[in-house]
Structure 1
Amino acid sequence: MSQQREAVFPTRMTLNLMRTKLRGASTGHTLLKRKSEALTKRFRDIVRKIDDAKMKMGGVMQAAAFSLAEVSYATGGNIGIEVQELAKQPRYTVAARQENVSGVILPSFEAIVNKEVDDFKLTGLGRGGQQVNKAKYIYGQAVDALVELASQQTAFVLLDEVIKVTNRRVNAIEHVIIPRTENTIAYILSELDELEREEFFRLKKVQRNKQRDAEKLQIAEKAEKERLAAQESDAVQSVEAESTTENGAKNDDMNAFDDDADVVF
């Protein structure tokens, strides 16, 4: 348990921080999960497009190879040197664009044809012109297919890496961060409950001690009152005894005086 939680001091402030962290982790997990699902959907679309592009590429490249063979046969030799000498400006250019997919920037390539440039319009004018135009058209299709395949392959590689990273983050949040934070919250709550029980026990003990002291004080006050009452009672009895003694002495004196008077007369 101690190894699966964070080393924190159990306080109310720490509990609030951990709860905030848990809410943030849950929100992040949800967002990353949605991002992973969106990227996976796009990844599957790209895989399907790559499969279609490769199948198309096989047919196009085969047709291009046959058309080049036809050109070589029709012109009676290799026209590569002539083509290189005539090529002055690019007819095909590749433009790069960017596409944002769930926060991931994917490059996209597009083949742009400049129809104003045609350096090979007189190529094969003597013979084989039809085969040259056919080869030019087929190789144009091959360039388009290659650019499309390169665009999808680049997006495939980038998305594959991003999906792996995103899934690792999702798994880390789901299986490490959230359980660790929940264990930390449970630990803090248990410690706070223990502290509350200790505080309650301490207060009860203080209350019992105060009640015991109050009872002792009442007993002492009662004993003091009884002692004072006993002293008062003793004092009253002693005063009454003295008064009785004095009265007896006076009566004796009076009796003696009466006896003396009888003797004189």
Structure 2
Amino acid sequence: MARLNVNPTRMVLTSLKKRLKVAVKGHKMLKDKRDELMKQFLELARENKRLREQVEAQIGSIYSNFVIASAVMSSEVLNEALMYPKQGVSIEVGRKNVMSVDVPVFDFTTTTDDTSNIYPYGFANTSAELDNAIENLSGVFPEMLRLAAVEKEVQLLAAEIEKTRRRVNALEYVMIPQFQETIKYIQMKLDENERGNQTRLMKVKDLMVKAAIEEKQENTKAALEEYSSQF
């Protein structure tokens, strides 16, 4: 792992240690976030599978009723019966936050207060299969909205999991090893400089001691010569 290109000083070492501490803490938080996202993602995936199977089964039943209704009724009567819908809906899109991810929440309101008032035709010229199809279609609509919201939430969580995974890997395999390698390098350089300074100090001390000894010897010699000259 390549180290960072920095000056090996104590100030840089202190700064890198702080950055390493923050990176390790952030790495743990992101791993916890990724694990929680994965847990919620798996739960939503199971819910999505259940809802999709349920909605597809209901829509299949609705199509079957429509096919039977179109077989026992003329196309003109069927088209006339469904030409002007009696009940309408308006969809409201909200938001909720799931682990810092904004996911949509769908809700709907009907245009009339009586939600059971869904048949835009009289019952004299229509078949029971058409009635069942309209009723089942009205009943499956909330489940379809729920399925759409869950599928979108699954997509958003999957994207957030991938983004979080990349960040965790970047910290775990790039940034943290770089910080550790650089800190190790700076500590080695500082220790080397410290040993070099100690070696130079010891040499200077030896030179100073040697100079002091030589000076003392010269002073002693000069004193002896002066003393000898007096006799």
TM > 0.5 fold call: yes
Equivalent AA in structure 1 for residue 27 of structure 2: H
* Mapping of residues 60-209 of structure 1, within 5 Å: 60-78=58-76, 79-84=78-83, 86-87=84-85, 90=88, 92-116=89-113, 120-121=118-119, 123-128=121-126, 130-209=128-207
Distance in 2 of aligned mates of 1:141 and 1:223: 120
Distance in 2 of aligned mates of 1:162 and 1:80: 46
Which of 21, 24, 27 is the matching residue for 1:23? 21
Distance in 2 of aligned mates of 1:56 and 1:23: 50
Distance in 2 of aligned mates of 1:133 and 1:107: 33
Higher relative contact order (CA 8 A, sep 6+): 2
* Mapping of residues 213-232 of structure 1, within 5 Å: 213-232=211-230
Bigger shift: residues 119-128 or 205-214: 119-128
Q: For residue 9 of structure 1, give the secondary structure of its aligned residue in structure 2.
A: coil
Distance in 2 of aligned mates of 1:81 and 1:133: 14
Deviation string for 1:71-107 (max 9, x for gaps)? Answer: 33454435234423x23662x3322121211111111
Distance in 1 of aligned mates of 2:171 and 2:225: 78
Q: Is the Cα contact below 8 Å between 2:85 and 2:120 reproduced in 1?
A: no
Q: Is the Cα contact below 8 Å between 2:118 and 2:135 reproduced in 1?
A: no
Which residue is 1:37 aligned to?
A: 35
Equivalent AA in structure 2 for residue 190 of structure 1: M
Q: Which has the larger radius of gyration?
A: 1
Q: Is the Cα contact below 8 Å between 1:107 and 1:151 reproduced in 2?
A: yes
Instruction: List alignment gaps of at least 5 residues for structure 2.
Output: none
Equivalent AA in structure 2 for residue 205 of structure 1: K
Sequence identity (%): 25
After superposition, the CA RMSD in angstroms is 2.1
Q: Is the Cα contact below 8 Å between 1:74 and 1:131 reproduced in 2?
A: no
Task: Using the TM superposition, give the Cα deviation of residue 218 of structure 1 relative to its aligned residue in structure 2, in angstroms.
Answer: 0.5
Task: Using the TM superposition, give the Cα deviation of residue 216 of structure 1 relative to its aligned residue in structure 2, in angstroms.
Answer: 0.5
The number of residue pairs the alignment matches comes to 229
> TM-score, normalized by length of structure 2?
0.90
Deviation string for 1:10-54 (max 9, x for gaps)? Answer: 111000010011011001101111111111111111110111012
Q: Is the Cα contact below 8 Å between 1:71 and 1:131 reproduced in 2?
A: yes
C-alpha distance 73-115 of structure 1, shift in aligned 2 (>3 A): farther
Distance in 1 of aligned mates of 2:12 and 2:70: 81
Distance in 1 of aligned mates of 2:95 and 2:57: 29
Distance in 2 of aligned mates of 1:87 and 1:169: 51
> TM-score, normalized by length of structure 1?
0.79
Distance in 2 of aligned mates of 1:209 and 1:44: 75
Distance in 2 of aligned mates of 1:217 and 1:36: 75
Question: Greater share of helix residues, 1 or 2?
Answer: 1
Deviation string for 1:122-150 (max 9, x for gaps)? Answer: 51332336444322211113322322221
Q: Is the Cα contact below 8 Å between 2:82 and 2:120 reproduced in 1?
A: no
Task: Using the TM superposition, give the Cα deviation of residue 167 of structure 1 relative to its aligned residue in structure 2, in angstroms.
Answer: 0.3
Which residue is 1:240 aligned to?
A: none
Deviation string for 1:171-228 (max 9, x for gaps)? Answer: 1100111011000000000000001101111111111111001001100100110010
